[in-house]
Amino acid sequence: MRPSLHFTAQRGWINDPHGLTFHNDTYHLFHQYVPDSMVWAPNCHWGHATSPDLVNWTHHDVALAPGDGDDGIWTGCLVKDGAETRVLYTSVAEPNLGLGRVRVATPNDETWDSWTKGDMVVRAPEDMDLIAYRDPFVARDGSGWRMYIGAATRDGQALALTYTSDDLQAWAYDGVALSRSTHETDPVWMGALWECPQIFEVDGHWVMVSSVWDDDVLHYVGYGIGGADSQADGRFTPADWGQLSFGESYYAPSFFRDREQRPCLMFWMRGVSDVDQGWASCLSVPYLLSARDGRIVADPHPEIAGRRTTRLGAREAASAFDLEWLPAPAGDQLVLAADAGKTACLTVTDGAVTLERPGRDVWSMPWSGEKLRVLVDGSVIEVSSTVGVLGGAIEPSTTWHSVVGECTAWSLGE
C-alpha cells in the first residue's frame, strides 16, 4: 500500500507540509505530525525530513513538540535572513483551538533537527469578531518582512490579515490584505476561512493560494490571480479567481522555491492510508507553477520525469508509473488494474475528466482537450492538466490500458 514517490510517515498521521526550504544543498521538509495515530488530533508536532531531490526522503526526529505553552504546534513557515533562520508557527491552546497565536523558534545548529522555542510574537486583533486565526506565511517586503495570516469573521468573511516587521521578532498589525465573503460564488466559491493563505509571484503575476474551509469541512484549493501591479503595500487585488484542485484529497499546499528558485507547491493528500502498517495521509509530488492565460498551472516537478526508467506497454506491470495521455475527444477511458482485480478508471466526456474508483465517490475536473499527465504510485493517483490537479487514493494499481486515445508510459524508480 505504501507509495514509493509520495512522502508518508513511518508511523502515524501527517497533514500540512510547510517550511520546505533548499538549504546547504538539501531540501528540508517540515509537516504536521501526530505520532502513532491514524487520525488527526490537536496535539500536532512538526515532523522533519530531508531530501537531495524532492523525491527520496530521509525521516528525522520530531523538530518541535507540544509543551512549554503549546497544546499543539500547527502550520507555519520557515524564514532565512542571511545566516539567521527561524520558524514562525501557529501555537494553539485549549479551549479555543481556533484562535491561534504565532510563536517563533530558532534552530540549535545547521542540521535544523532541534529547535528552541521563543516568544509569542503575534496574536489575533482584539477588535475583530474572529472565529479562526492561524497559519502564518512570511515573505520579504522591501528591506523588511511581511506576514499573512488566515482568519475568518463570524459573519462569513474569509481574510488574509497582514503584519510587518524589520527583524522577524517585533510585528506590527497592518490590516486586511485581502478578503472575500463566503456568499460570493462567481467564478469560484472560496469558503468562509482561508487556511494557509500564501501570496507570492509567478511569471510576473501575483497569486494568493489558499485552502477553502467552511464549518469544519475541508473543500479544495483555490486561488486569486492578478498582474504585476495587483499587489502593493501589502494589499492584493486579484483580477480573477480559480480552482486549483479537484476531488476530496488535495488540501493545504505549501509554497516553496526549488534549488533553481522556481515557484513550486506541495499538497497534503487526504484519504491515503494503510491501517495494517499504521500510517495515514501522504504528501503530493512537488509541482512546478506557471501562469498561463490568466490562470495558475501546476505541472509535476521535473524531478518526477527524471525518475522515468523503462517504457511500458499496455498491461505491462510496474509498482509506480508515469503516463502522458491524449484522450480521444469523447468517451475515451484509461483503465488502471489492481492485482486484487479492482480497477480505477479515468473517463473523458462532455468537457470533463472523471475519476471512478470502486467504493469511493466519483470526482471530475474540467478538460479542454489537452494532454493529461497521470501519476500512479501504489495507492495514490494524481492527474494534472492546464486546468488543475485531480487525485486521491486508489487500490494499488500495477497495469494500465487506454481504450482509444494515445498514451505513453514509463515506470518510475525511486
* Same-domain check for residues 245 and 156: yes
- Domain final position from 251, 275, 299: 299
User: What CATH number does the domain containing 30 carry?
Assistant: 2.115.10.20
User: What CATH number does the domain containing 348 carry?
Assistant: 2.60.120.560
Alpha-carbon gap, residue 136 to 196, rounded angstroms: 7
* Same-domain check for residues 355 and 272: no
For residue 221, what pLDDT is reported? 98
* Same-domain check for residues 291 and 311: no
Contact call for residues 125 and 173 (beta carbons, < 8 A): yes
Does a structural domain hold residue 51? yes
Helices (H) and strands (E) in the chain, counts: 1, 35
Contact call for residues 46 and 105 (beta carbons, < 8 A): no
Does a structural domain hold residue 7? no
* Same-domain check for residues 371 and 242: no
For residue 342, what pLDDT is reported? 77
Q: How many domains is the chain partitioned into structurally?
A: 2
- Domain final position from 256, 274, 299: 299
Q: What's the whole-model pTM score?
A: 0.97
Contact call for residues 205 and 228 (beta carbons, < 8 A): yes
**The three grid cell numbers given for residue 124, joined into one nine-digit string:** 489575533
Contact call for residues 102 and 125 (beta carbons, < 8 A): no
Alpha-carbon gap, residue 196 to 185, rounded angstroms: 20
Does a structural domain hold residue 4? no
Q: Which has the closest alpha carbon to 103: 139, 66, 158, 130?
A: 66
* Same-domain check for residues 115 and 201: yes
**Three-state secondary-structure class, residue 155:** coil
* Residue 19, CA distances (Å) to 30, 75, 80, 145, 275 in order: 6, 9, 10, 16, 28
* Residue 138, CA distances (Å) to 30, 87, 168 in order: 16, 10, 9
Does a structural domain hold residue 182? yes
Alpha-carbon gap, residue 294 to 345, rounded angstroms: 31
Alpha-carbon gap, residue 21 to 50, rounded angstroms: 10
Q: Which has the closest alpha carbon to 144: 170, 165, 160, 123?
A: 165
Does a structural domain hold residue 101? yes
Query: Half-sphere exposure (CA, 13 Å, Cβ side) for 308?
Result: 14
Alpha-carbon gap, residue 124 to 386, rounded angstroms: 38
For residue 91, the surrounding DSSP H or E stretch is strand 84-92
Does a structural domain hold residue 187? yes
Does a structural domain hold residue 2? no
* Same-domain check for residues 262 and 315: no
Contact call for residues 88 and 79 (beta carbons, < 8 A): yes
* Same-domain check for residues 68 and 186: yes
* Same-domain check for residues 268 and 344: no
* Same-domain check for residues 117 and 236: yes
Tell me the Cα Rg of the chain.
Answer: 21
Residue pLDDT tens, the chain, 414 long: 899 999 999 999 999 999 999 999 999 999 999 999 999 999 999 999 999 999 999 999 999 999 999 999 999 999 999 999 999 999 999 999 999 999 999 999 999 999 999 999 999 999 999 999 999 999 999 999 999 999 999 999 999 999 999 999 999 999 999 999 999 999 999 999 999 999 999 999 999 999 999 999 999 999 999 999 999 999 999 999 999 999 999 999 999 999 999 999 999 999 999 999 999 999 999 999 999 999 999 999 999 999 999 999 999 999 999 999 999 877 899 999 987 677 899 999 889 999 999 989 999 999 999 999 999 999 999 999 999 999 999 999 899 998 888 999 999 987
Does a structural domain hold residue 352? yes
* Same-domain check for residues 68 and 148: yes
Q: Which domain holds residue 367?
A: 307-412
Contact call for residues 19 and 78 (beta carbons, < 8 A): yes
* Same-domain check for residues 168 and 23: yes
* Same-domain check for residues 242 and 357: no
